[in-house]
Chains A and B, each alone.
Chain A
């Protein structure tokens, strides 16, 4: 049997994020009290603990903070896709997010390259945020 693809576990707390991705919008929680925008998704502001949050449409832009080229198939679904990259993106709104850089070789990846979100509709409900390098 083919290994199943790891998928995000949808919860009441993270549902707005994944619903946004489905509409190809990168939506993030912002604190109405202190203004922090945070990720990963928690139900409270991770700076002031307020539960008074709103969902904003993020710019979808950021910079490439760190990256790897994965050569070991720890996760069975990825084992026949080696090597592939995984990236850490610093979004313009502040938070860090893990993702992948599409259409890029390891040699193309450099610190602080500007990147922009694109969405990959992988099944009937989930669209994954991915990033592409913006032309300089």
Chain B
């Protein structure tokens, strides 16, 4: 990645008004239309004409990846030099940004729009399926959260938290909710107290409803250009200064060697690559945007990146440490639990905006480096940085 990192920049960001969409589910709403709106906003943000964009990377957006032309044609595109159409899956968000950077760095395009769009809320999609070969439903196992919760119980027990993890784990969703209150387009903006958190029922104990991300309609577009082209555009360029990816394959949906065990080793490898590629230390990271599908993944990301030691995260997140004004402001727009579930793309957009310094009430002072982490089935880390 060393040849690629730092040679491409995010120059445009666009997204839906998530709260408005959440409050008005509509079965006729299409992901393509939401994606077109986000693309247009991102192009305006960049100061680029749609005709300047000669590369397209999609995640979701169309019913199947093969239908990319439905989107591209309707976006006004008539010729494309670089095309990559992908499934709608959270773990691929940062890898697709890295793919765009690689394509730009190797001259395959001048400007690439990366678009995520989906309408699971309006279509009443249930995230209730597992891996059929494991006979999940035969044993009553349903929802990705249940599969993560299964490893979370082990983690809690191994590190002596089982039985006293509540209300400690409430600090994570509560922090993100506080941040969402400062984000005009966030879905959930009403304050959440510990009592509110505990009033949310268990879904898969030890996870409660408030430990789960939302199910959301919406779209995000990030436009990248080669670094040398980025300087003339409207906004300060934000560089992808490091990227690392890891996939552990085994018989279950999530890495079963998980919490405190193998996940820690690969997260440590990834953060080592990030620090080496960008030439930074952990202390240089000004904010964290973490793939918060479930509270446990936030805890594991904090430990895996080394912000605290294995087994310490539940204590470490107390007392505002991950809130704005704290040691490591995390998910400063509200994350997937309170802003919107854009499968990581909203977290990436916030990383870019924090580095640009345009976040208003929720801006992290003098933000030079924003780290994105995703410790899901496919895990990755990406660092976004500004010049100098």
Chain A nearest CB, measured from B158 CB (Å): 6
Q: How many angstroms from the CA of A100 to the CA of B153 in the assembled complex?
A: 15
Assess the B204–A98 pair: CB atoms within 8 A. no
Assess the A75–B137 pair: CB atoms within 8 A. yes
Assess the A70–B204 pair: CB atoms within 8 A. yes
B142 contact from A75, A87, A88, A110, Cβ within 8 A: A75
Closest to B204 in A: A68
Chain A contacts for B137, CB-based, 8 A:
6, 75
Q: Which of A88, A95, A100 has the most CB of B within 10 A?
A: A88
- Number of B interface residues at 8 Å Cβ cutoff, please give it: 38
Q: How many angstroms from the CA of A90 to the CA of B126 in the assembled complex?
A: 29
Q: How many angstroms from the CA of A135 to the CA of B64 in the assembled complex?
A: 51
Chain A contacts for B87, CB-based, 8 A:
none
Chain B contacts for A98, CB-based, 8 A:
134-136, 139, 141, 252
Chain B contacts for A86, CB-based, 8 A:
139-141, 146, 150
- Number of A interface residues at 8 Å Cβ cutoff, please give it: 39
Q: Which of B138, B204, B251, B256 has the most CB of A within 10 A?
A: B138
Assess the B149–A88 pair: CB atoms within 8 A. no
**B184 in the interface, Cβ–Cβ < 8 Å?**
no
**Given A68-B150, A128-B138: A75 and B202 interface contact (C-beta under 8 Å):** no
Chain B nearest CB, measured from A15 CB (Å): 14
Chain B contacts for A96, CB-based, 8 A:
250-252, 256
B138 contact from A6, A68, A109, Cβ within 8 A: A6
Q: How many angstroms from the CA of A74 to the CA of B251 in the assembled complex?
A: 23
Question: B residues 114-143 with Cβ under 8 Å of A?
Answer: 126, 128, 131-143
**A32 in the interface, Cβ–Cβ < 8 Å?**
no
Chain A nearest CB, measured from B262 CB (Å): 13
A69 contact from B138, B157, B158, B202, Cβ within 8 A: B202
Q: How many angstroms from the CA of A106 to the CA of B146 in the assembled complex?
A: 14
Chain B contacts for A60, CB-based, 8 A:
none
Closest to B252 in A: A96
Assess the A100–B139 pair: CB atoms within 8 A. yes
**Given A66-B154, A86-B139, A98-B141: A72 and B252 interface contact (C-beta under 8 Å):** no
Assess the A99–B139 pair: CB atoms within 8 A. yes
B140 contact from A42, A66, A78, A88, Cβ within 8 A: A78
Closest to A126 in B: B138
Q: How many angstroms from the CA of A23 to the CA of B160 in the assembled complex?
A: 40
Q: How many angstroms from the CA of A72 to the CA of B201 in the assembled complex?
A: 9
Chain B contacts for A110, CB-based, 8 A:
157, 162
**A12 in the interface, Cβ–Cβ < 8 Å?**
no
Chain B contacts for A66, CB-based, 8 A:
150-154, 256, 258
Interface digits, A70-94 against B, CB 8 Å rule (1 contact, 0 not)?
Answer: 1110110010010110111010000
Chain B contacts for A99, CB-based, 8 A:
139
Assess the B143–A40 pair: CB atoms within 8 A. no
Q: How many angstroms from the CA of A7 to the CA of B128 in the assembled complex?
A: 16
Q: How many angstroms from the CA of A70 to the CA of B140 in the assembled complex?
A: 8
Chain B contacts for A106, CB-based, 8 A:
205
Chain B nearest CB, measured from A116 CB (Å): 17
Q: How many angstroms from the CA of A97 to the CA of B150 in the assembled complex?
A: 12
A88 contact from B135, B150, B163, B202, Cβ within 8 A: B150
User: CB within 8 Å of A: which residues of B?
Assistant: 126, 128, 131-143, 146, 149-154, 157-158, 162-163, 201-207, 250-252, 256, 258
- Could you list 18 examples of A-B contacts with CB < 8 Å? A8-B138, A40-B251, A66-B256, A67-B150, A67-B153, A68-B149, A69-B205, A70-B140, A70-B204, A75-B137, A86-B140, A86-B150, A95-B251, A97-B134, A98-B136, A106-B205, A128-B138, A128-B139
User: CB within 8 Å of B: which residues of A?
Assistant: 6-9, 38-42, 65-72, 74-75, 78, 81, 83-84, 86-88, 90, 95-100, 106-107, 109-111, 128
